[in-house]
Structure formats: C-alpha cells, structure tokens
Amino acid sequence: MNISRREFLQMLAVASASGISLSACDNQSATTPAGGIKPSAKPASPYELAPFGNVSVMHFTDCHAQLTPIYFREPSINLGVGSMRGKPPHLVGEKFLAHYGIQPGSREAHAFTYLNYVEAAKKFGKVGGFAHLSTLVKNTRAQRPGALLLDGGDTWQGSGTAYWTNAQDMVDAQKLLGVDVMTAHWEMTYGADRVSEIIEKDFAGHIDFVAQNVVDNEWNEPVFKPYVIREINGVPTAIIGQAFPYTPIANPRFMVPDWSFGIREDRMQQMVDEARGKGAQVVIVLSHNGMDVDLKMASRVTGIDAIMGGHTHDAIPRPVEVKNARGITLVTNAGSNSKFLGVLDLDVRDGKVRDYRYHLLPVFSNLLDADAEMAAYIDKVRAPYMDRLSEELAVTDELLYRRGNFNGTFDQLICDALIDVQGAQISFSPGFRWGVSVMPGEAITYEHLMTQTAITYPTVTLNNLTGTRIKEILEDVADNLFNQDPYYQQGGDMVRTGGLKYSIDPTAGMGSRISDMEVDGKPVEPNAEYPVAGWASVAQKLDGRPVWDVVAEYLRDQKTIGHIELNEPLIKGAKGNPGYAPTDSL
C-alpha cells in the first residue's frame, strides 16, 4: 500500500495523541538517552510502550472509588474564559480531536470525547476497573524497572463500598495496586482523625502521603510530609504534594477544623529549592489544584520539571509546555474514574532532564485482562454489599451522565427527585464531576445511584430562600468556575437547578453573570421566598435523610426514566467557543 507523506504524518499525529503504538509525546529531540532504559523497536501491542530514558513515573487521579469497569461520558461543555478560551483543557468534541490529531470514530476519540457516545460505548465497551488498571500498571512496570506509581487523590470517595467501609476498600486496593505516593482532596471528607489513622497505620512502609500546602491553624506547621525523594535508576527524584487548596471551602470545614489549606505558591518554591538542594535531579509536583491552576503555577514557580495534575478530571493526551523564568515545566492531567494511566518517561543526564516522552493510555477493560489478585480482592470486598448494590431501582430509556459545566441527565434526575419527594419549587444539586454513566435500556441500580451521591455529608435540606439569596448562590458558584484568575477557581461545575430558569454570561464579572431568573414562567422576585430542596450542605453537620434514599424512592416510584428535560441556562457568548457544544446539537 502506498501512502502520501501527508497521510503518513497524519498517522503519526493520531498515534502520538493517543499513545497507541508510537511515542505519545516528545520534544522532537534526536538525542540518545544516557543510562536507564534504551529505546526499543516499535511495540507490538497497544499497551506495550517503547521504553525511553532512565526515569519513569505512572500517574492516575480522581478514580473516585470505582473498582469495577464503568461507562463514563466526557463533557460536551467545558468553557474556558479569558486567556484560557480555546486552550487545553477547554476543548470538547471535534475541536478536541482536531487539536490533538485524533481520528474521529476511533477508540481514542471515544475515550477522550462525548461524540456519538452511546454507539461508541456499545462498540468499544467499558473503561477502567482496578483489576484492568492493575494489569496495565504491572505491564508498564515490567517495561520500566523502578517506575513509580503516583495517585493524585480523590481515591477514597465516590462509591457505596467506599462510604460503607469508611474508605478501607480503597486503601487496601491502593496498596495492592502498588501506589508509591499520593496527595488528596475528597479524602479529607472522612475527617482528620480517619485520614491520620490511615496514614499512620495502613500507609506506613507502603505509601507516602504528601501535601506541602496543608498546615495546622495554631502553629502554621506542616501537617503532612511536603515531599519525598525517591531514587529511580540512581536518579534522585522529588515528588512534591499539592492537596486541593480550597478543601475547607468546597467541603465541610468541620471535618478538618485544625488544618489550613491554600495554594501556597511561595512555600511551593521553597520546597522545590529545598528538594533541589538535597540532590533531587528531577522535581515532579503531584497536584490536585485543577489544570488551570497548575498552568498558572507552572508559569510562576521555577525548577519544576512536571506537574502531574488532577481535580478537574481533564484527560489531556499531550503535556502543555509552560515557560517560566528558569525553563519549561510540563503540565499534565490524567482524567478520572481509573479510565486513564499517564506514563511520563524522562531522559536525565548530567543532573538535568534532557528529553521526555508522555503517554496517556485509555484503560479499555476489554483490551486488558483482569489481574487475578486484584479481581479476587474486589470480589471479596464487594461481596457483603452486593444485594444492595445490585438492586434495580428503575430502567432508563436514555443515556444518563453527569459531566458538563451546566447540567447532565443524571443530575437532572436528582433535581427532579428532590422537587417531587421534598415538595419543593426549586432544587439545587452540586456540580460534582464524579459519577458514572448509565446506558439506554440499562437498569439504574443502587450502585449507579451511589456513584452519584456517596459523600459523608449527604443530608437533604428544604429551606425557604429569597430571590436575592438564590441569585447570590448562583453568582458565587459561577465565580468559582469562571473567574479569569485561575487562582480563584475552585473547580467543579455549575450548581444544577430544577424548577429555575436563568441566563448566564461566563465572561462577565463577579455579581453580573446571572440574569433572567424565572420560576413557573414568572420572574423571580428579589424579596419573595421560594422553597428550595438541596443536599450536601457544607455549613454544619446535619441529621436527616440522605439524598440516595430520596432519589431511590423517586426511581422506584417512576420505574422507567425517559424524556428527561435537561434544565440548562441560556449561555451568553458561548457560540464559537471551542469548549462548547450546545445540547441540541448532540
């Protein structure tokens, strides 16, 4: 078969972006790495990566306690504002594929985008699962002796079994998977005592828990190790932890009352310099900042070779190379739900990183055999809960999903349930980015429901709120999401609403983004009160009914879910934004 040069280059681009068969990302250097692993011939398997360099790290993040293979639809709306408009990670659908040179309709296109989701999911199957991830980790380690496995956090929360076992199922799974270093976010919602207990008892001698940006309130002293230095093939490599900076704001402060969080950029610089002073030739930040925050930090803190990030669940096939005063820092983000494994290979010579390769590998469970030991563990830990997890609550006639800046069909279902069961006029549901997808024709099980709701502060509330207060809530969340300074972004998505219509201008300033609020076809009056149902209050510990009970009641009553009316705001100024695909075009 004869192909043109252009066709050949297109093939290279597709392979590079996907990490399949060819090197996923490099800096085009033709130098030969010194020491460590030498490049080999072209791999024969999609998951057999050509070895490169002498320092390798693997990275997964935001698995949200998903031990078994799942369906997970990527977002159709991921807006970037200001300088981030149209730049990674704020690309969706066809714009994403074009940017990374990924072939439409391919397995990689399905992994990284929402396009033709149902048809593609039927064709390519489920993703993730710790037994399949474990096989990939072991295979990659065999190809790269000495490679470290980094866990970016949000590992202990997001499933029924994690909630019912107080995170123990995931802690033991991490140890079995071979995690070397981790940082945190949702882990903190089990409370300071439980976090400390796991670190001191379960992780001792197995996993280093690092977070340079968490200090105690009284003495401003570090709560956790800020970093560790590990030797990889004789090269001292520092892993600095960066926990989610806004944990006591986005989650209940009463769960970690004595700990103070923050970005702490100055301290990060100190830790980088300190690690370098102790002989580290490679410095990697294991971050839960969110990608926009990581990109800004990379431009301001010097001496970091790579930031391997999480929190915003962005799956980015190629690192962003960020210039700063002393060089270039690579910024990566490895998706969510154990759906991807990032592999970073570095060629380190004369104390410096000279070259790199990066692969972000989609974990297709039908392409990777389940690791027998991990599979047996998962079966054992889930066994006591299977009757409850497998309860069929209803059947869905359409795709249920969560991810997207403004709403998802599963979130709409939750909002509808809150209004129906609580007798409210309006409902609010948090803009969480975790939660699996359910295919049309599938039974909605209790397990599916728990992937959407399993948190340690799940109590449903019903309050009378004025129109003014409702607008304040929407404005506050919108600023957390669309502030043009990444350091003021907290990640997540817009609060989901039921019964309330409104318009939003993401590019406007604080207090001016929300307009045209309506309830039952009538304008919202500033001083009028409206009954609003919600859940996941961060203000104080509440007793009451958990949200999964409310939604389960609604589903059992409905029996069949179909023709969901997705309640999205009118988005002003979004037309032409590469991070926007309107719902009616899907």
Q: What is the CATH number of the domain that holds 200?
A: 3.60.21.10
In a domain, 121, yes or no: no
Claim to verify: residue 406 and residue 371 sit in the same structural domain:
no
Q: Identify the domain boundary among 376, 404, 438.
A: 376
CA-CA distances (angstroms) from residue 216 to 244, 253, 266, 326? Answer: 15, 13, 17, 32
Q: What pTM was computed for the model?
A: 0.92
Q: Any long-range contacts for 108-114 (C-beta under 8 Å, 24+ apart)? A: 108/14, 108/17, 108/18, 108/20, 108/317, 108/362, 111/18, 111/315, 111/339, 111/340, 111/362, 111/364, 112/74, 112/315, 112/317, 112/362, 113/74, 114/73, 114/74, 114/75, 114/76, 114/581, 114/586
Which of residues 346, 376, 406 is at a domain's end? Answer: 376
User: Dihedral angle at the C-alpha atoms of 248, 254, 260, 263, nearest 10 degrees?
Assistant: -10
**Contact (CB, 8 A) for 307 and 285:** yes
Separation between Cα atoms, residue 235 and residue 229, nearest integer Å? 10
What is the pLDDT, as a whole number, of residue 540? 86
What's the CATH code of the domain at 538?
Answer: 3.90.780.10
For the chain, the C-alpha Rg in angstroms (whole number) is 23
DSSP classification of residue 73? P
Same domain? For 423 and 368 the reply is no
Tell me whether strands 327-333 and 320-324 are parallel, antiparallel or unpaired.
antiparallel
Residues 460, 550 contacting (CB under 8 angstroms): yes
Contact assessment for residue 280 and residue 237, using Cβ atoms and an 8 Å cutoff = yes
- Residue 20's pLDDT is what? 36
Three-class secondary structure of residue 361 per DSSP: strand
Q: Do residues 319 and 404 share a domain?
A: no
Which pLDDT does position 72 carry in this prediction? 98
Report the alpha-carbon distance of residue 344 to residue 24 in Å, rounded: 10
Do residues 25 and 115 make contact, with C-beta atoms less than 8 angstroms apart? no
Burial class (CB in 10 A: 0-12, 13-18, 19+), 585: exposed
Q: How far is 313 from 330, CA to CA, in rounded Å?
A: 17
pLDDT confidence of residue 516: 98
Helix then strand count (H, E) for the chain reads 17, 25
In a domain, 332, yes or no: yes
Residue 33 lies in a domain: yes
d(C-alpha 375, C-alpha 129), whole Å? 9
Residues 368 and 395 in one domain: no
Q: What pLDDT, on a 0 to 100 scale, did the predictor assign at position 514? A: 98
pLDDT by 10s per residue, the chain, length 586: 333 333 333 333 333 333 333 224 445 443 333 333 334 444 557 898 999 999 999 999 999 999 999 999 999 999 999 999 999 999 999 999 999 999 999 999 999 999 999 999 999 999 999 999 999 999 999 999 999 999 999 999 999 999 999 999 999 999 999 999 999 999 999 999 999 999 999 999 999 999 999 999 999 999 999 999 999 999 999 999 999 999 999 999 999 999 999 999 999 999 999 999 999 999 999 999 999 999 999 999 999 999 999 999 999 999 999 999 999 999 999 999 999 999 999 999 999 999 999 999 999 999 999 999 999 999 999 999 999 999 999 999 999 999 999 999 999 999 999 999 999 999 999 999 999 999 999 999 999 999 999 999 999 999 999 999 999 999 999 999 999 999 998 878 999 999 999 999 999 999 999 999 999 999 999 999 999 999 999 988 899 999 999 999 999 999 999 999 999 999 999 989 999 997 654 5
Q: Which helix or strand (DSSP H or E) is residue 243 part of?
A: none
Burial class (CB in 10 A: 0-12, 13-18, 19+), 434: buried
* CA 355/CA 378 separation, integer angstroms: 39
User: Are 422 and 453 contained in the same domain?
Assistant: yes
Given the structure tokens 């989609």, which residue do they identify? Answer: 362
> Quick check: is 579 in a domain?
yes
CB 88 within 8 A of CB 17: no
Name the residue range of residue 299's domain.
5-70+126-376
Q: What is the pLDDT of residue 23?
A: 28
- The first and second tokens of residue 162, run together, are 């994690």
Answer whether residue 158 is part of any domain. yes
Share of the chain residues as helix, strand and coil, in percent rounded to the nearest 5: 30, 25, 45
Give yes or no for a contact between 284 and 356, defined as CB atoms under 8 angstroms apart. Answer: no
**Which are the contacts of 66, defined by CB distance < 8 A and separation ≥ 6?**
128, 129, 130, 158, 159, 337, 338, 436, 451
Identify the DSSP state of 489: -
Residue 196, domain member (yes or no): yes
281 and 395 within one domain: no
Taking the C-alpha atoms of residue 22 and residue 11, their distance in angstroms, rounded to an integer, is: 10
